[in-house]
Structure 1
Amino acid sequence: MIDFPLNRAVPADAPLAPANVLIVDDVPQNLVAMEALLRSDQVNVLTASSGAQALELLLLHDVAVALLDVHMPDMNGFALAELMRGSPRTAGIPIIFLTASPQDPVHAFQGYDAGAVDFLHKPIEPHVIGGKVKVFVELHRQRQLLALHAQRLEHALSLNETMLAVMTHDLRTPLSVVTLCADAIERMPVSPETRVIGQRIQRSALRMSRMISQLLDFSRIRSGVLHIEPAPTDLAVVAQQVIDEARQAHPGTSIQATSTGNLAGTFDADRIAQVLSNLVANAAQHADDGKVRVGLDGASGGTLSVTVSNRGRIDEALLPRLFEPFKGVLHASSGLGLGLYIVDQFVRAHGGSSSARNHEGEVVMTVRLPRHAPVATSGRAT
């Protein structure tokens, strides 16, 4: 049983809360006048008569812009601005300084050095301060909208991945019944036509089983729960098992293997077997001459490499995106387009790399692995 995540998406029509504007001034009349000027349906005005009160409000509220009076007792506007810049929570808040002093370049430079985005002199024109605050409020609301969209997108992706995991998990049981019934038909004393039908059902069921396995792997990768368990293993042994199975699955394809050097290493044998199986199956499907060549190379001290080649050619435009998921939209395929993506992710989880190229009339897939993979790795490959 797979449970759906309990987190809920933000409703698409959820209204944005009014943006907070902080006004700091030690003169009560100034606070009242500024609040009356700036308050609206989209703006909530926070007022403080000292730097200490302002810091308390900043700890509790997300602020779109702060209007700071320069001349205040105990803590002036410049000191408050420096404290705001020193905290990650408030470092990004735009600051507009307000002052009744005559224009002084040194004073202005001090304000901008403290982090001001603007410096206004009293008496302040209402339309000027209103216009400037409106700009920062709109920017703040845009950031809020982006955060909401990101949250909704993350929830949708999480739900899709969970549904994918549920679907593939629950499909295994009925598919196993179909496979057993097809196998039973092949063993029964039936007509050749019926036996052919059973064989077709068996092949289709096996193909569906591979797709389900790929979807489960894709779900694990995208959910960040891919784990590898490295252990001392011989790549030659793993490859031989994969090739023997591939020869049975593709009786019309000649699969030849060569090896050189020491192929012992430390890696997850099951995952690397799946890597090799996907590469060989892909080559067998597209081999123009029905021949697949597998080369294992352990001559390098710290690296193991595998090449799988077949006669054919990959469109040059597709090569850079060959290891992306769901390439069916880019290139005609009889599968989901996940096989090579899973290859690349499993290899990356081992600290290795995957590549593909056209060379002298052949498609050559190459996998390079560190001889000794990290002892404990998990999560989504990058």
Structure 2
Amino acid sequence: MQQDEQKMQPRAKFLLVDDLEENLLALSALLKRDDVELLTARSGFEALELLLVHDVALAFLDVQMPDMDGFELAELIRGSERTRHVPLIFVTAGTRDQLRMFKGYETGAVDFLYKPVEPHILKSKADVFLMLYRQRQQLARELEQRTETLRLSEMFMAVLGHDLRNPLSAIVTSAHVLQHASDDAIVQKTATRMLSSGKRMGRMIEDMLDLTRARLAGGIVLKRELADLGALTERVVQEHGTGNPERRIDFQRQGELSGEWDADRLAQVASNLIGNALQHGREGTVEVRLDGSQANAVSLTVSNAGCIPPEVLPHIFDPFRGGQREGRGEGLGLGLYIVQQIVHAHSGKVEVESAGDWTIFRVKVPRRIVSVVKL
């Protein structure tokens, strides 16, 4: 099976550089194998021309050549972005001079071979670098495949999320009709449950679409306008308080809270953080604080009782992983990831601290107010 895979792989290329034809013939005879193509050059200039065209797995350079010696050639190879990764082995008939060896390694050599070359050593070294080259190729292919798979998956999520909106809208509309068309308690209870589930599904769909916007569209697009973060957050707190009457949300604010932001997106940040605290935090008060005392930025802090497990904390803002906390496992685990993306789009920062029996999320966004100069 392994032999069949090797046959399917493209031939690797070795570059042999020596000003003497007989030396090139000798090296070619020792390195000849079915899965390797040998490129030969009689000078440094010929070698550079070949490197412009071919992707080389390994290069053997003669040290003593006219016009351009092996050290100079190695420096040029290392100086190019295209060829700096090519392993270089110097082949020399000179004596084992320590200074020359240091110079060779400084120019980028990985090894020295002295003439007359021992065939077994030459083949062993070539096999090692060929294996490393094959491994790099395999990793590059796997990375490309996984990247493409991820791109297609996110495109599928975007299409699916968009297409789900229409049937979901029909379900929500029907639930509203049922609520107003019948006084029957069972019908009212069923319609209320349908509306609640429909709204939760709608939030999931929006999270999926935000994920694809952040990954495929280069980030979440903002529509900046002058807004009052205090009024936005107060509205969000009231909405969550109505939906969670058994929980207490303590909201306090201070300072100037206006700035140039995407109001809907920052409301989404506040909603996701408060919802996260209510969902994953322990019973008790959720504290929401807004601080506008700084001239250039406004800070939002959401705190709740409960601790994030140490193994989860480093990945708390990762998509599909941040939701792996204590509490009810609702949602897709995208809320905190979207918070991070929105805050970063506002050139702000978001941090989390969880120690003892308390968890605190801190958001800081610059005001970005455009000053108007009157002439």
Fold agreement, TM-score > 0.5: yes
Pairing partner for 2:143 from 133, 143, 150: 150
Please tell me the residue identity of whatever aligns with 2:334.
Answer: L
Aligned to 1:380: none
Aligned to 2:373: none
Pairing partner for 1:354 from 340, 350, 356: 350
Please tell me the residue identity of whatever aligns with 1:46.
Answer: L
Distance 1:219 1:373 in 2: 29
Aligned to 1:196: 189
Q: Deviation digits for residues 321-375 of structure 1, max 9, x if unmatched?
A: 433332455544222222222222222322323344568966543322223389x
Aligned residues: 363
Aligned to 1:19: 12
Distance 2:118 2:182 in 1: 98
Matches within 5 A, 1:105-116: 105-116=98-109
Aligned to 2:363: 367
Matches within 5 A, 1:156-305: 156-223=149-216, 224-250=218-244, 253-285=247-279, 292-305=286-299
Aligned to 1:62: 55
Distance 1:324 1:210 in 2: 18
Deviation at 1:38, TM superposition (A): 0.9
Q: Given the superposition, is the C-alpha separation of residues 94 and 290 from structure 1 closer, same or farther in structure 2, using an over 3 Å criterion?
A: closer
Pairing partner for 1:343 from 325, 339, 344: 339
Distance 1:144 1:189 in 2: 67
Aligned to 1:378: none
Give yes or no for contact 1:350–1:373 (8 Å, CA) kept in 2. Answer: no
Deviation at 1:134, TM superposition (A): 1.6
Distance 1:297 1:231 in 2: 20
Share of identical aligned residues, percent?
Answer: 44
Distance 2:12 2:83 in 1: 15
Q: Deviation digits for residues 227-248 of structure 1, max 9, x if unmatched?
A: 2233322112222332344345
Give yes or no for contact 1:253–1:290 (8 Å, CA) kept in 2. Answer: yes
Give yes or no for contact 1:356–1:364 (8 Å, CA) kept in 2. Answer: yes
Gaps of 5+ in 2: 371-375
TM-score, normalising length: structure 1: 0.84
Moved more, 314-323 or 215-224: 314-323
Matches within 5 A, 1:25-174: 25-174=18-167
Please tell me the residue identity of whatever aligns with 1:276.
Answer: A
Aligned to 1:333: 329
Please tell me the residue identity of whatever aligns with 1:44.
Answer: E
TM-score, normalising length: structure 2: 0.86
Gaps of 5+ in 1: 1-11, 375-382
**Aligned alpha-carbon RMSD (Å):** 2.9
Q: Given the superposition, is the C-alpha separation of residues 235 and 92 from structure 1 closer, same or farther in structure 2, using an over 3 Å criterion?
A: same
* Structure with more relative contact order (C-alpha pairs < 8 Å, separation 6 or more): 1
Q: Deviation digits for residues 124-160 of structure 1, max 9, x if unmatched?
A: 2211211122222222112111111111111111111
